């Protein structure tokens, strides 16, 4: 239980760019009060006190996450995202900030920061998902384009979506869609799915002529296709959960 008579510890940080005072809360740094240069420091305790409820709530979330152990195999939000399909690994940190929504930033190569209402897990999940979609657009789409160019396939469009039960699809109009979950698969399987969908631009079925086509570009297609039956295990729990 929070004790209202207890002072909330904080650090003051004066910012040249800040226009208003705001609060930042993270598991590592604790509460930081960012104030503009002209802001009267004597007003800080009152400001902190007025946000006591929010601070207590967020600190409770941090504590709960620490106890649960943020695990990438469980459904908890990830502290690390391994995108094997494109050979990338990202660390993820969360910082509560007194703002609306959650802002995602690529702090550096391999380093993500989510700032804002980070105790809202559903919101964080959505933000991470749309980042994955952008990542897939940046990496998987050009890979499909290269494969198509090298092997002489044509398609009308390609899009990235989060799909529950399909890794990819190809419409009769040649619209290819890739599941963003491909990002988590071994590269060989990613390539297999791309070949699979590209060959559908020639045959809209799984006939022996179709598989003959697939075999030309992926001699191991049969083993890869079998492997796909179990491939959902590569998708981390936090993303699969819905
Ligand atoms: Zn198919």
The model's pLDDT over 96-150, given as tens digits with 9 standing for 90+, comes to: 998 899 999 999 999 999 999 999 999 999 999 999 999 999 999 999 999 999 9
- Tell me the C-alpha distance between 210 and 240, whole Å: 31
Give me ligand 1 centre to Cα 197, in Å: 6
Give me ligand 1 centre to Cα 210, in Å: 9
Give me ligand 1 centre to Cα 147, in Å: 17
Give me ligand 1 centre to Cα 193, in Å: 9
Give me ligand 1 centre to Cα 88, in Å: 27
Give me ligand 1 centre to Cα 140, in Å: 18
Q: How open is the CA angle 26-93-95, to the nearest 5 degrees?
A: 30
Give me ligand 1 centre to Cα 73, in Å: 29
| CATH number of this structure's domain 132-240 | 3.30.2010.10
Mean local confidence (pLDDT), 15-44: 87
Give me ligand 1 centre to Cα 200, in Å: 7
Q: Supply the pLDDT for residue 74.
A: 60
pLDDT in tens, 155-201: 999 999 998 889 999 999 999 999 999 999 999 999 999 999 999 99
- Tell me the C-alpha distance between 42 and 49, whole Å: 12
For the chain, the structural domain boundaries read 1-50, 132-240
Give me ligand 1 centre to Cα 107, in Å: 39
Give me ligand 1 centre to Cα 226, in Å: 13
Give me ligand 1 centre to Cα 195, in Å: 10
Residue 98 tokens read as: 């007194």
Specify the pTM. Answer: 0.74
Give me ligand 1 centre to Cα 196, in Å: 6
pLDDT for 61 beyond 90: no
Give me ligand 1 centre to Cα 240, in Å: 22
Higher pLDDT, 107 or 50: 107
Cβ neighbourhood burial of 161 (10 Å; 0-12, 13-18, 19+): middle
Residue 71 tokens read as: 């695990």
Mean local confidence (pLDDT), 61-69: 65
Give me ligand 1 centre to Cα 204, in Å: 8
Give me ligand 1 centre to Cα 211, in Å: 9
Give me ligand 1 centre to Cα 44, in Å: 62
Q: Supply the pLDDT for residue 1.
A: 47
Q: Supply the pLDDT for residue 4.
A: 59
pLDDT for 55 beyond 90: no
Task: Using alpha carbons, list the distances in angstroms from residue 29 to 105, 135, 204.
Answer: 18, 29, 56
């Amino acid at each position: 239980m929070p004790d209202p008579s207890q002072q909330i510890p904080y650090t003051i940080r004066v910012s040249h760019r800040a226009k208003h005072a705001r609060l930042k809360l993270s598991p590592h740094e604790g509460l930081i009060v960012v104030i503009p240069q002209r802001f009267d420091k004597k007003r800080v305790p009152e400001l902190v006190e007025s946000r006591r409820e929010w601070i207590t709530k967020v600190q409770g979330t941090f504590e709960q996450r620490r106890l649960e152990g943020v695990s990438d195999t469980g459904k908890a939000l990830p502290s690390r995202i391994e995108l094997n399909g494109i050979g990338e690994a990202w660390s993820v940190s969360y910082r509560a900030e007194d703002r609306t929504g959650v802002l995602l930033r690529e702090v550096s190569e391999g380093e993500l920061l989510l700032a804002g209402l980070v105790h809202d897990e559903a919101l964080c999940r959505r933000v991470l998902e749309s980042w994955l979609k952008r990542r897939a657009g940046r990496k998987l789409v050009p890979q499909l384009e290269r494969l198509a160019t090298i092997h002489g396939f044509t398609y009308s469009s390609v899009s990235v979506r989060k799909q529950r039960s399909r890794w990819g699809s190809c419409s009769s109009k040649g619209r290819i869609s890739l599941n963003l979950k491909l990002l988590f698969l071994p590269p060989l399987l990613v390539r297999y799915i791309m070949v699979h969908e590209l060959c559908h631009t020639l045959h809209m079925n799984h006939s022996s002529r179709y598989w003959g086509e697939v075999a030309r570009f992926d001699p191991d297609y049969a083993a890869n296709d079998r492997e796909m039956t179990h491939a959902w295990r590569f998708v981390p729990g936090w993303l699969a959960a819905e």
